[in-house]
Structure 1
């Protein structure tokens, strides 16, 4: 069918732009879901000035409200933590460590972890806090 001036009428919808948009949205969704940081949720105590210690090779040690110790989101005993930290220190003696302790955890458990870090002579240790209101 001719619609004046030699142009043809289209009786089908071109869905190529919609397919392109679907693929772009799919790629964005995949990137956003894999970019989330894994970790153990703890209720951090508040501080007047919070320092951001996030670096690519930073080790996160977490003590949750039940007193369980985690290294990079994996539960460990103090003996396992010591073994893993010795391995990390062998590869990088100046490895930075961030210690996160829930505000209701017993002070002694955090002190045990700090004593272990001092024993291994790991001196780049930061205590994570939340922002004050």
Structure 2
């Protein structure tokens, strides 16, 4: 018995064994065929139709000004403190509600502006804003 007999031929292998490469490619092909339909996450829904026309339904703006003497001006027209709740209630009943912009003179007492805000809140107006001037350096 001869142990460890070897061929003395040191030939270099010139061929690549293609069988394992083809096997790996076939396995990858099967994996992609199975997983591609699973990766599609779409839900079929019937979307509503809409027009591309812009809707410019901005509610009107009411300017309520309080000057330095404490007088109220409704859109540049002078009103008394007693007329103010009636005007605000009439505007609050509109649909859509208008925006109320309050402009208070910096010399007026805050009490006059607070009365106007309270009257607007009691009337049911929800969109109330203040108009200020930017500070100049």
TM range (shorter): 0.5 to 0.7
Please, which runs of 5 or more residues in structure 1 have no aligned partner? 1-54
Structure scoring higher RCO (CA < 8 A, sep ≥ 6) equals 1
Q: Is the Cα contact below 8 Å between 1:61 and 1:99 reproduced in 2?
A: yes
Indicate the structure (1 or 2) with the bigger Cα radius of gyration.
Answer: 2
Q: Cα deviation per residue 1:63-121 (whole Å; 9 max; x = unaligned)?
A: 00110001001111122111112112222352101000000000100010011111112
Query: With structure 1 as the length reference, what TM-score do the two structures score?
Result: 0.55
Q: Is the Cα contact below 8 Å between 1:93 and 1:122 reproduced in 2?
A: no
SS of match in other structure, 1:87:
helix
Which segments of structure 1 move beyond 6 Å, counting only runs of 4 or more?
Answer: none
Structure 2 distance, partners of 1:121, 1:107, is: 21
Aligned residues: 79
Query: With structure 2 as the length reference, what TM-score do the two structures score?
Result: 0.54
Q: Is the Cα contact below 8 Å between 1:61 and 1:97 reproduced in 2?
A: yes
Q: Cα deviation per residue 1:14-61 (whole Å; 9 max; x = unaligned)?
A: xxxxxxxxxxxxxxxxxxxxxxxxxxxxxxxxxxxxxxxxx6610000
> Pick from 68, 72, 77: which aligns with 1:69?
72
Please, which runs of 5 or more residues in structure 2 have no aligned partner? 1-57
